[in-house]
C-alpha cells in the first residue's frame, strides 16, 4: 500500500527560483538562505519519494477569473512550467501520477470534499520553486508530482480548518491506494508578506515563528485562526500559509497516530518582499528512519 | 444581511474579494492576457489599441497607462494579475511592489533586508489617522 512518509513546508517566492535559474545562489544576498536550505536538500537526497502531492496556489496563470476552483487536483501525466509574464522558467516539465490522482479524486470526493479535477494546466512558481529549492537543477525532477491548487487569491478562500481536514482526507486516500508508493505532501506559500498597497513590505517575525511552532505542536489550534488575523498580522499575501495546513493534516498524529519528527526548520528574512520559512516533518508511522 | 468584511479596517491593504473581482474583471482579464508573449508584443507596440480591445473603464485604462498599481488595485485589480503589466515592462517584484509605497526600490529593498515593515502601528485604520 502507499503511505505518507513526510511533509515539507516551504515558501515559494519567485525570486528564489530566479536566483537558482540564474546561478546567483552564492551572491551575498542569497548565500545565507541557500546555506539554510542545505539540510533539507541533504535530507531529501536520502528520502526522495515516489510522488509529491504539492499544495500551492496559482497566481493568475493556470486560472483566470472565469472559473475559481477552491481546491483543484491535477489529473494529468505532465504539467508545463507557466509563462507568468517574464517567460517560462527553464525547469523540467513536471511529471504527474494519473493513477494516484484518480484514486485521490475518488477517495476525497467520496469523503465529501468537492474537488475540481483539472487537466492540461500549466504550473507556475508556486509549484516549481519548491521543487527547485529541494532538488536544485536536475535534468528531470526525481519524482512524480500531483499538483493541488488552492484558491487563496480571490476571497472567499478556504478556512484553515477546511485545509487541515482536506489533508486528513488525502492521507486516507493515499493509504488506500494499492501500489506501494512513498508519498510526501508539501504545503507551500508564505510566510508573512504583503505585495500590494501602502502597507506593502510587511514582515512579522514573531507571528511567523509562532506559526512554525504551532505547525509542529498545535496544528488544530492554528487551523482555528481566522483569515483576518493572517491578513492583519502576516500581510495580505500571508494568507497563503493556510495551505501548509493541508500538508500538516496528512500527518499520522491527526489520525490518532504518533507525532511527526521535526527534521529541519528554517526561518529567513528576506527573499524579495517575503519572509521565508521551511519545515520538514517525518511521519513517525512511516518514515524511512522510523 | 451583507457580506461581513472584517478586513476593511486594515490600513494600506485591499483584500481582493468578490466585489473587487467584479469591478476588476476585465482589468484582470487584460493583465492575464500578458502571460502570452505575442500579447506582450502587441501591447508594447500600441498600448492604447491593445487596451481598447478590453471593455475596461477609462479610469482603469489610465491607471495602466500611468503604471499606477495602487490605482489598478483600487479599481478592482489583483496584484498577481496586474503585476504582469510590470513584468511586460521588465520590472521585478521589488520594483512593482515598492512603487505602491513611500519608498523607491532601493530603499524598499534595504527595508526588507533590515527586517521589513513592522506590523507595529500598521494593523488598524485608526493607527494611520492623520497620516
Mutation to test the A interface, candidates B97, B98, B107, B129, most A Cβ within 10 Å? B97
Cell of A211: 506559526
Determine contact, residues A150/A163, Cβ cutoff 8 Å: yes
Cell of B79: 496584484
Render pLDDT for B30-43 as a digit per residue (tens, 0 to 9). 999 999 999 999 99
3-state secondary structure of B80: helix
Quick check: B28 contacting A, CB < 8 Å? Answer: yes
Q: What letter would DSSP give residue A81?
A: B
Question: Which residues of A does the annotation mark as catalytic?
Answer: 125, 193
d(CA A38, CA A215): 21
Beta strands across the sheet bearing A182-188: A116-118, A71-74, A144-150, A51-56, A182-188, A3-10, A274-282, A261-271
Determine contact, residues A11/A17, Cβ cutoff 8 Å: no
Start-to-end CA span in chain B (Å)? 33
Q: What letter would DSSP give residue A178?
A: S
Render pLDDT for A135-179 as a digit per residue (tens, 0 to 9). 999 999 999 999 999 999 999 999 999 999 999 999 999 999 999
Model confidence, pTM: 0.98
Mutation to test the A interface, candidates B9, B14, B55, B79, most A Cβ within 10 Å? B79
ipTM exceeding the 0.85 mark: yes
The residues near A249 (Cβ < 8 Å, ≥ 6 apart) are A163, A164, A165, A166, A167, A168, A169, A170, A171, A219
Instruction: Measure CA B101 to chain center.
Output: 11
The residues near A74 (Cβ < 8 Å, ≥ 6 apart) are A96, A101, A118, A119, A121, A123, A146, A147, A148, A149
**Confidence check: pLDDT of A290 > 70:** no
Strand partners, A271: A274
- Residue B93 has a CB neighbour count (10 Å cut-off) of 20
Determine contact, residues A95/A78, Cβ cutoff 8 Å: yes
Render pLDDT for A245-289 as a digit per residue (tens, 0 to 9). 999 999 999 999 999 999 999 999 999 999 999 999 999 877 665
Q: Which CATH architecture best describes the domain B15-91?
A: Orthogonal Bundle (1.10)
Measured in degrees and rounded to the nearest 5, phi and psi for residue A104 equal: -60, -40
Determine contact, residues A70/A158, Cβ cutoff 8 Å: yes
* From B25, B80, B118, residue closest to A60, measured CB to CB: B80
Half-sphere exposure (CA, 13 Å, Cβ side) for B24? 29
d(CA B76, CA B15): 10
**Confidence check: pLDDT of A76 > 90:** yes
**Confidence check: pLDDT of B63 > 80:** yes
Average pLDDT over residues A72-95: 98
* B101–A198 CB contact, under 8 Å: yes
Quick check: A210 contacting B, CB < 8 Å? Answer: no
Q: What is the number of CB-based contacts under 8 A between chain A and chain B? A: 154
pLDDT for the residue numbered B1: 73
Q: Which residues of B touch A154 (CB under 8 A)?
A: 16-18, 21, 78
Quick check: B23 contacting A, CB < 8 Å? Answer: no
Quick check: A200 contacting B, CB < 8 Å? Answer: yes
Average pLDDT over residues B94-122: 98
d(CA A162, CA A118): 20
pLDDT for the residue numbered A159: 98
Q: Which residues of B touch A29 (CB under 8 A)?
A: 113
Domains contained in chain A, CATH given: 3-282 (3.40.830.10)
Amino acid at each position: 500500500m502507499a503511505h505518507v512518509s513526510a511533509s515539507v513546508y516551504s515558501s515559494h517566492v519567485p525570486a528564489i527560483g530566479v536566483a537558482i535559474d540564474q546561478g546567483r545562489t552564492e551572491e551575498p544576498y542569497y548565500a545565507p538562505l541557500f546555506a539554510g536550505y542545505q539540510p533539507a536538500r541533504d535530507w531529501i537526497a536520502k528520502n526522495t519519494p515516489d510522488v509529491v502531492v504539492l499544495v500551492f496556489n496559482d497566481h493568475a496563470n493556470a486560472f483566470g477569473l472565469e472559473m475559481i476552483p477552491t481546491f483543484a487536483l491535477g489529473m494529468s501525466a505532465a504539467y508545463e512550467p507557466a509563462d507568468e509574464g517574464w517567460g517560462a522558467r527553464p525547469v523540467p516539465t513536471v511529471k504527474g501520477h494519473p493513477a494516484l490522482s484518480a484514486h485521490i479524486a475518488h477517495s476525497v470526493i467520496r469523503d465529501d470534499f468537492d474537488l475540481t479535477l483539472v487537466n492540461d494546466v500549466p504550473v507556475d512558481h508556486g509549484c516549481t520553486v519548491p521543487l527547485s529549492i529541494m532538488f536544485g537543477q536536475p535534468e528531470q525532477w526525481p519524482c512524480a508530482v500531483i499538483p493541488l491548487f488552492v484558491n487563496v487569491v480571490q476571497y472567499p478562500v478556504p478556512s484553515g480548518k477546511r485545509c487541515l481536514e482536506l489533508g486528513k482526507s488525502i492521507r486516507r486516500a493515499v493509504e488506500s491506494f494499492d501500489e506501494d508508493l512513498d508519498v510526501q505532501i508539501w504545503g507551500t506559500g508564505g510566510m508573512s508578506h504583503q505585495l500590494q498597497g501602502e502597507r506593502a513590505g510587511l514582515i512579522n517575525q514573531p507571528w511567523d515563528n509562532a506559526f512554525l511552532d504551532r505547525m509542529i505542536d498545535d496544528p488544530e489550534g492554528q487551523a482555528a485562526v481566522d483569515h483576518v488575523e493572517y491578513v492583519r498580522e502576516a500581510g495580505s499575501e500571508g494568507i497563503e500559509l493556510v495551505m501548509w495546513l493541508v500538508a500538516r493534516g496528512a500527518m499520522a498524529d491527526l489520525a490518532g497516530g504518533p507525532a511527526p519528527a521535526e527534521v529541519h526548520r528554517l526561518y529567513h528574512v528576506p527573499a524579495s518582499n517575503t519572509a521565508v520559512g521551511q519545515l520538514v516533518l517525518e511521519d513517525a508511522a512511516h518514515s524511512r528512519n522510523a | 444581511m451583507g457580506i461581513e468584511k472584517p478586513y476593511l479596517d486594515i490600513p494600506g491593504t485591499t483584500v481582493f474579494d468578490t466585489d473587487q473581482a467584479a469591478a476588476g474583471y476585465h482589468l484582470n482579464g487584460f493583465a492575464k492576457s500578458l502571460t502570452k508573449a505575442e500579447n506582450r508584443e502587441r501591447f508594447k507596440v500600441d498600448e492604447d489599441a491593445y487596451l481598447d480591445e478590453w471593455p475596461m473603464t477609462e479610469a482603469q485604462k489610465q491607471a495602466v497607462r500611468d503604471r499606477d498599481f495602487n490605482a489598478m488595485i483600487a479599481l478592482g485589480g489583483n496584484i498577481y494579475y496586474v503585476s504582469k503589466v510590470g513584468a511586460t515592462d521588465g520590472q521585478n517584484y521589488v520594483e512593482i511592489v515598492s512603487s505602491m509605497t513611500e519608498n523607491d526600490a532601493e530603499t524598499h529593498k534595504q527595508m526588507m533586508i533590515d527586517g521589513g515593515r513592522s506590523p507595529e502601528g500598521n494593523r488598524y485604520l485608526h493607527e494611520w489617522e492623520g497620516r
